[in-house]
Amino acid sequence: MMSQLGKHSGFDLTIKTTGDVDVDSHHSVEDTSLAFGQALREALGDKVGIRRFGDSMVPLDEVLVQAAVDLSGRPYLVHRQPEIVELIGDFDTTLGKHIWESIVAEARIALHIRVLEGRNAHHVFEAQFKAVARALRDAVSKDGRVAGIPSTKGSL
C-alpha cells in the first residue's frame, strides 16, 4: 500500500523494510510508517510557498474515501471506516489506523480520512492510501500566490 502512496502523491518514494515479520507485522508496519512520516516532515523543510492544505475524494469500485490534510505542524488524526475483516491475506487490518497514527505523529500533520461507502477490506485500504496520496500531492504543491509560509502566524 505504501507504493500506492508514492505513486499517487507523485513522491519519489522507495521503501525497503526488514524486520521481525516472522513474529508479527506490527513492528515492521509501525516502523515503516514512522520512517515515512519523518521523511515527509524533513522533505517539507520550512514549507515556504506550499499550498499547505489538500483534499481528495477517491472511488475504487464500491468504495468511496475522502481525505483532507493540513501540513500544520500539529499532529492530529480523524479516521472513520466501517468494520472490515481482520485479515487481508496475512495482513492484520487492525493495523490500518495505527499506520495513519504513526505517519501523522512523525510528519506532524493533521489528517482526516473517512470511508464514505464500501466494505471490501482490500478496496477500503487501497482507496485510503490513494486518497491520502492525492491530498498530500495537493498540499505539498507550490502555489505561486503564496509568499513565504502559508500561515498568518508566520510559522508552521
User: Which amino acid, one-letter code, is at 1?
Assistant: M
**CATH code assigned at 131:** 3.30.230.40
Q: Is residue 150 part of a domain?
A: no
Domain presence at residue 154:
no
Measured CA distances, 21 to 27, 40, 94 (Å): 8, 25, 16
| Residue 68 located in a structural domain | yes
Examine residue 91 and state whether it is found in any structural domain, yes or no. yes
Residue 95, in any domain of the structure: yes
DSSP H helices, the chain, are 2-9, 26-44, 96-107, 121-140
Asked if residue 74 is part of any domain, the answer here is yes
Cα(91)–Cα(88) distance, integer angstroms: 5
Segments of the chain with pLDDT less than 70: 20-24, 151-152, 154-156
- Cα separation, 73 vs 80, in Å, equals 22
Residue pLDDT, tens place only, 77-110: 999 998 887 787 877 888 889 999 999 999 999 9
Count CA within 13 A, CB hemisphere, residue 21. Answer: 10
Structural domain range at position 127: 2-140
105, part of any domain:
yes
Domain tally, the chain: 1
| Residue 155 located in a structural domain | no
Predicted TM-score (pTM) above 0.75: yes
Q: Which of 5, 11, 34, 15 is nearest to 131 (CA)?
A: 5
